[in-house]
Structure 1
Amino acid sequence: MATTESRQSAIDVGSLTGLHWVGIVAALVSAAIHLRLGVGGLALPLRIGFLLAGLGFVGAVVLVLLDYRRRTVYAVGIPFTLVQIVLWYGINFAGGTKSFPADVGTLGAVDKVAQVVLIAVLVALLRR
């Protein structure tokens, strides 16, 4: 017989829609890229930032899978992801030596597409 505590910590995929899964995949793509960059040869402050961002995406996916305050996760996820996009642009292109869009790169393009998809999914889920 399951207790209330064990039921609350179980993954609840039955309540997830196709839209949820698109968001989960997009978040995991962005998480994987951030974690990969975070363990790479970047300067320490950037490395820590990438690791924290990657862990933030993974943590949000876990909360959604556990059906823990999903609407709050959606609401926090939108500005969290928007900040990722703004920081990426600011660090790489605003006043820098790189030009947009010529110097985006494969990882940057994949990450930003995943993040734009994630924001669209989060907005749609929040509006339901």
Structure 2
Amino acid sequence: MATTESQQSAIDIGSLDGLHWVGIVAALVTAVVHLRLGLGGLPLPLRISFLLAGFGFLGAIVLVLLDYRRRTVYAVGIPFTLIQIVLWYVINFAGGPKSFPADVGTLGAIDKIAQVVLILVLIALLRR
């Protein structure tokens, strides 16, 4: 039994192709951005939400690397990432007359590009 359990928890890189790696890099970028912001000087509830989102992206990367229900991870990852984009917009732009995209900032732009790429990759992987 120990052999079976250790085989199930092994990383399965051989089954990953270029599209997977683009998604992993995009998820890693957005995870790092969220963790960095979560460790910053934001109000506590917002800080916690950023940390949870960052760990969520990291957890998804681990699940994909372990080949654990990848299709489910792809399917859940699409709305999870879309919610991040919608919340970002609502928090930053829907509440007041800020000029879009001038107030996005470098970190925000990198994060949103990574998230859009991630969503496109997840849709492509799910459609296979």
**Which residue matches 1:61?**
61
Structure 2 unpaired stretches of 5+: none
Structure 1 unpaired stretches of 5+: none
**Which residue matches 1:121?**
121
- Deviations, residues 26-45 of structure 1 (Å, cap 9, x unaligned): 00000000000000000000
- Written as runs of structure 1 = structure 2, the 5 A alignment for 1:100-111 is 100-111=100-111
Structure with more of its chain in helix, by fraction: 2
Q: Distance in 1 between matches of 2:34 and 2:66?
A: 23
TM-score by length of 1: 0.97
* Aligned-CA RMSD value: 0.9
**Aligned residues between the structures:** 127
Q: Secondary structure at the match of 1:20?
A: helix
Per-residue deviation, 1:98: 2.5
Runs (4+) of structure 1 exceeding 4 A deviation are: none
Q: What percentage of residue pairs aligned between the two structures are identical? A: 85
TM-score by length of 2: 0.97
Per-residue deviation, 1:95: 2.3
